[in-house]
Chains A and B, each alone.
Chain A
Amino acid sequence: MADRIYERPAIVRNTFGAMNKVGRRGDLSNHAEIDGVSIDALCKEFGSPLFVFSERRLRARVREAREAFARRYPSTTMCWSYKTNYLDAICAVMHQEGSIAEVVSGMEYDKARRLGMPGDKIVFNGPAKTETELRRAVAERAIIHADHLEEIYLLEKIAAETGATPTVGVRVSLDAGIYPRWDRFGLGLENGQAMQAVKRIARGGKLALGGLHTHIGTFVLEPAAYGRAAAKLADFATEIEKSMGVRPTHVDLGGGFASTNTLATQYHAGAIAPGIGDYAEAITSALIAGASGTGTLPRLFIETGRALIDEAGTLLTSVVATKRLSTGKRAIVIDAGVNLLFTAWWYRLNIAPARSAEAFVEDTAVYGPLCMNIDCIRESVPLPDLRPGERLAIHPVGAYTVTQSMQFINLRPAVVMINEQGTPELIRRAEVLEDLTGPEVLPERLKLGATTSGATPALKIAREG
Chain B
Amino acid sequence: MPTPDLPYDPAELRTLALSDTGFIFDPRTGHSYSANATGLATLAAMKDGLDPAAIATKLRAEFKGGAAVEDDVAGFVDLLRELGLVRARSAP
B-contacting residues of A (Cβ < 8 Å)?
A: 2-14, 324, 327-328, 358, 360, 385, 387
Contact A5 to B63, CB < 8 A, known contacts A10-B79, A13-B83, A327-B82: yes
B72 touches A14 (CB 8 A): no
CA gap between A87 and B75 in the complex, in Å: 45
B24 within 8 A of A: yes
A11 vs B31: C-alpha distance when bound (angstroms) = 12
Q: What distance in Å separates the Cβ of A342 from its nearest Cβ neighbour in chain B?
A: 34
Q: Please measure, in the bound complex, the distance between the C-alpha atom of A7 and the C-alpha atom of B73, giving whole angstroms.
A: 11
Measuring CB to CB, which residues of chain B are less than 8 angstroms from any residue of chain A?
22, 24, 31-39, 41-43, 59-67, 69, 72-73, 75-76, 78-80, 82-83
Closest to A330 in B: B79
A362 to B61, CA, bound (A): 25
Partner of B36, one of A2, A14, A360: A360
How far is it, in angstroms, between the C-alpha of A387 and the C-alpha of B76 when the chains are bound?
15
Q: Which chain A residues border B59 with CB–CB below 8 Å? A: 6, 9
Known contacts A2-B62, A4-B64; A9/B83 CB under 8 A: no
Q: Please tell me if the beta carbons of A3 and B78 are within 8 angstroms of each other in the complex.
A: no
B33 is contacted by which of A2, A7, A11 (Cβ under 8 Å)? A11
Indicate if the CB atoms of A11 and B39 lie closer than 8 Å: yes
- Bound CA–CA A13/B64 (angstroms): 26
Q: Are B37 and A13 in contact (CB under 8 A)?
A: no
Nearest A residue (CB) for B80: A11
Interface class of chain B by DSSP: helix
Q: Roughly how many angstroms separate A3 CA and B35 CA in the complex, as a whole number? A: 19
Contacts of B41 in A (CB 8 A): 9
A interface: dominant SS: loop
Q: Can you list 16 A-B contacts (CB < 8 A)?
A: A2-B64, A4-B37, A6-B59, A9-B35, A9-B38, A9-B73, A11-B35, A12-B34, A13-B31, A13-B32, A14-B31, A14-B32, A324-B75, A324-B82, A360-B22, A387-B67
- CB < 8 Å: which of B60, B61, B64, B76 contacts A10? B76
Query: Quick one: closest B residue to A361, CB to CB?
Result: B36
Give, as a whole number of angstroms, the nearest-CB distance from B34 to chain A: 6
Cβ of A6 and Cβ of B83 under 8 Å apart? no
In the complex, A358→B79 CA distance in Å? 20
| Of B32, B38, B43, B78, the contact of A7 (CB 8 Å cutoff) | B38
* Smallest beta-carbon distance A2→chain B, Å: 4
CB distance from A67 to the nearest CB of B (A): 47
A327 to B81 Cα, complex, angstroms = 11
Q: Closest chain B residue to A3 by CB distance?
A: B64
A11-B24, A360-B34 known; A6 and B39 CB under 8 Å? no
Residues of B within 8 A of A9 (CB): 35-36, 38-39, 41-43, 59, 72-73, 75-76
Contact check, B72 vs A328: say whether CB atoms are below 8 A apart.
Answer: no
Q: Which residues of B contact A10 (CB under 8 A)?
A: 35-36, 38-39, 76, 79
Contact, CB under 8 Å: B63 / A11: no
Q: Closest Cβ of chain B: how far from A62's Cβ, in Å? A: 43
Closest to A1 in B: B64
Which A residues are in CB contact (< 8 Å) with B62? Answer: 2, 4
A358 vs B35: C-alpha distance when bound (angstroms): 11
Q: Are B37 and A360 in contact (CB under 8 A)?
A: yes
Alpha-carbon gap, A387 to B71, bound state (A)? 13
How distant is the Cα of A4 from the Cα of B41 in the complex, in angstroms? 12
Q: With both chains docked as a complex, state the minimum distance between the C-beta of A319 and any C-beta of chain B, in angstroms.
A: 14
> Which A residues are in CB contact (< 8 Å) with B67?
387
The CA-CA distance from A2 to B59 in the complex, in Å, is 9
Chain A residues near B39 (CB-CB < 8 A): 9-11, 360
Q: In the complex, how many angstroms separate the beta carbon of B78 from the nearest chain A beta carbon?
A: 7
Contacts known (A11-B80, A11-B83, A324-B78); A6 close to B34, Cβ less than 8 A:
no
| Chain A contacts for B37, CB-based, 8 A | 4, 7, 358, 360
Which one, A7, A8, A360, contacts B75 given CB within 8 A? A8
| Chain B, residue nearest A326 (CB) | B82
Residues of A within 8 A of B82 (CB): 324, 327-328
Query: In angstroms, how far is the closest chain A Cβ from the Cβ of B71?
Result: 9
Given A9-B43, A14-B33, A358-B37, 17 additional A-B pairs, CB 8 A: A2-B61, A4-B62, A4-B64, A5-B63, A5-B65, A6-B66, A6-B69, A8-B38, A9-B59, A9-B72, A10-B39, A10-B79, A11-B76, A11-B83, A14-B32, A324-B75, A324-B82
